[in-house]
Amino acid sequence: MQPFTTPKKSLSWYRPATITLVLFCLVSGTSCAADTDKANPAIDAIKVIDAINARSVTPQQDGNSNMGEPPRPANALPLADIPFTFAVIADPQAFRLSSGGNPNSESINGTEWRKINSNLVAALNKYSGVEFAIMNGDVTEFGRSDSWNNVISVYGNLRFPYYFGLGNHDYQNNVGDCTHPDFGFDSNGCAMNSVARMDYELGLYANRLSNFSKDWVRTSSAHWSGSMSYSWDYNGVHFVQLQNYPTYRVELTSWTARYIWIDRSLSWLHEDMRLARLRGMSAIIVNFHQDNDFFSRTATVAERLQFRAIMNTYTPLAIFVGHQHQFAREEHHDDPLFGNVNVYRTGAAFEAKAHIVTYDNKKLTISEMEEKGGVLEQLPDKRYEEYGQPQKPMCLTPGQAGGKDSIYITTFLTDSHWNLRQVSGTDNNVDADPQGNAYMRPWTIGNPYQLWTFVKAYPGWPEFSSWYVIKQTATGRVLDSDADGHVYTRDPTPGSGYQQWWPIKLENGMVQLRNRATNRFLDGDGSRLYTSFGYDMDNHHRSWQLSHGWYRYPPENSRYFKAKTDNAYAYPFPEGKNSNDNWQYLREHNFLDTLPCIAW
């Protein structure tokens, strides 16, 4: 654990809620380094960029850290809830004022903007028990450094940590329309500046937040990709930040050869929420910036169905957004996009508004607050209680004891010898020679060098919550990899993370395979086999079709059944989509539909 350091501010940092957090972190082994960076004066943009380029990050840290590490069996009881209070802020949007003026001018609007936001910060500090804050986008008006520096300077006076998300004003509205000296005065400069700021923050959060995960990769100082979404656990609750909105995509380039690819977050989001449930998180809270503007208008039919299925399967307590500058509660019942999850819009920070949220025993108490006279006041009759939906149970697996009405899922990764065919259309298969050189080759029937068996690294865990060793039939060697992306086969080494792979199930017998030690995905091009970073279910170079080594048929799609009797588990499932006296057939696995239980 990193040493606990005293911030370069007053001892008022040591408030009771913070001391409680410190003690919790000390007991749990979580890093509790004080958030001194935000307490300091404004960070100069060029120093941020220098820090990004100079910071040494191991390949594992630079990938999707902590994804796929359920610390205990998937059917364990939920973790204990600990009540706590947090604030939700949106749209500081330096230097916007409701009275008008020039929102991009510090000289015109800066003084009044700082006054309003400083008063909000002071009122938040006075409010009893707030342990952290979430800032849901539109940090700035146009992504310029003076705006960022002022936000960091003002909100650095909070006596508790706060966590950024970006909005359309930070890196969407200014694409191709705003230069910045740190990015060669390219027209994407201001958008890149906001992305660089967020990248810097993600580096800080990785060492401070429990079970931190991110969908963001820096393969070099000049090449970044992902959605910048991130998540963490706090006192039995899983928090997710999806930035602008879940399907936002943009390519940012500059003549200085910097390349940034912002991708949608849906693939990462599904896996992140699945793993949170598998490790016992009893509640989920989702954050992003826009709910009813670009997201609802631009998402494809498949994206809308996928997001809705994720919401209804993993049943977050609530979604918090900003963007509209006005408080609102959107109640949803079978909504085509949000399913049954309610959305709370936070009023604008530049109008001194914020949500105060208390979590207690799977219930949220949400209050709309406004700073008046130096204190936070609740708006009349603007307090809500959110109980969320019943959680889906963990799936049981064949033969596992369970009573009547228990829900089961059929076996997907059987003990068969499988070909791993790349889905990209090349018809190439994972292959390796006796010396351990791994590559891709066209399929040949029954070729034992192209046959692989999935063996659980830790017997006894459910197949959908297990690391696997992938063993070659011809040699008994296993698929191995290193931090630089090379793939080969080696003799088995028990416990080696480089030889363990986490299957992410797609449809029709397809999987993506993530390496435990590096967080990189099995990938390939032509005859080359390697690993690369990034979640993307639509990337066919990282998708692998399992097929029988001799007959080429894929494994059957996972099916769900409900037990009709207390001893149904002692009997096999019926064939196909049939039911019988012991089992009621429910459905096949489909990521575009709500799943009846938590598994893949």
Query: For residue 26, what pLDDT band results from cuts at 50, 70 and 90?
Result: very low
323 and 378 fall within a common domain: yes
Are 312 and 422 in a shared domain? no
Q: Residue 321 above 90 pLDDT?
A: yes
Task: Examine the domain organization and report whether 367 and 452 are in the same domain.
Answer: no
Lowest mean pLDDT among 65-79, 329-343, 386-400, 473-487: 65-79
Residue 303, in any domain of the structure: yes
> In which band, very low, low, confident or very high, does the pLDDT at 293 lie, cut at 50, 70 and 90?
confident
Residues 428, 382: one domain? no
Q: Domain with 433 in it: what CATH number?
A: 2.80.10.50
Average pLDDT value over all residues in the chain:
87
CATH number, domain containing residue 322: 3.60.21.10
DSSP annotation of 414: -
The arithmetic mean of pLDDT across residues 231-241, rounded, is 97
pLDDT at 51 over 90: no
376 and 492 housed in the same domain: no
376 and 423, same domain (yes or no):
no
When pLDDT is averaged across residues 201-208 and rounded to a whole number, the result is 97
Query: Does residue 425 share a domain with residue 380?
Result: no
Residue 585 has pLDDT above 80, yes or no: yes
pLDDT at 472 > cutoff 90 = yes
CB 189 within 8 A of CB 153: no
Q: State which residues form the domain around 147.
A: 66-386
Q: Could you tell me if residue 456 is inside a domain? A: yes
pLDDT at 137 over 50: yes
Q: What is the pLDDT of residue 161?
A: 98
Strand order of the β-sheet with 84-89 is 162-165, 130-136, 84-89, 353-359, 364-372, 375-386
| Residue 21 domain-assigned (yes or no) | yes
The 10 Å Cβ neighbour count of residue 590 is: 13
Question: How far does Cα 175 stand from its chain's mean position?
Answer: 24
**Looking at the structure, do residues 97 and 243 belong to the same domain, yes or no?**
yes
pLDDT digit string, tens, across residues 146-194: 999 999 999 999 999 999 999 999 999 999 999 998 887 889 999 999 9
- For residue 529, the Cα-to-chain-centroid distance in whole angstroms is 27
* Mean local confidence (pLDDT), 4-10: 31
High-pLDDT (> 90) share of the chain, %: 75
Residue 388 in tokens = 């969320």
Q: Is residue 591 part of a domain?
A: no
184 and 331 in a common domain: yes
How far apart (Å, rounded) are the C-alpha atoms in residues 422 and 545?
6
Residues 79 and 18 in one domain: no
Tens digit of pLDDT for each residue in 546-556?
998 887 888 88
Between 51 and 373, the higher pLDDT residue? 373
Whether 80 shows a pLDDT value over 80: the answer reads no
In which band, very low, low, confident or very high, does the pLDDT at 46 lie, cut at 50, 70 and 90? very low
Residue written as token pair 């840290």: 61
Look at residue 592 and tell me if it is in a domain. no
Q: Quote the pLDDT of residue 79.
A: 59
Identify whether residues 4 and 121 lie together within a single domain: no
Q: Are residues 382 and 422 in the same domain?
A: no
Can you spell out the DSSP letters for 50-109?
A: HHHHH----HHHHS-TTTT--SS-TTSPPPPP--EEEEEEB---BT--TT-S-TT-HHHH
- Say how far apart CA 378 and CA 390 lie, in whole Å: 29
Return the biggest CA–CA distance within the chain: 78
Determine the pLDDT at residue 5. 32
Whether residue 583 is contained in a domain is answered as: no
Residue 57: inside a domain = no
Q: How many domains does the chain have?
A: 3
> Does 494 fall in a domain?
yes
Residue 515 has pLDDT above 90, yes or no: yes
Angle at 206 between CA 202 and CA 207, to 5 degrees: 130
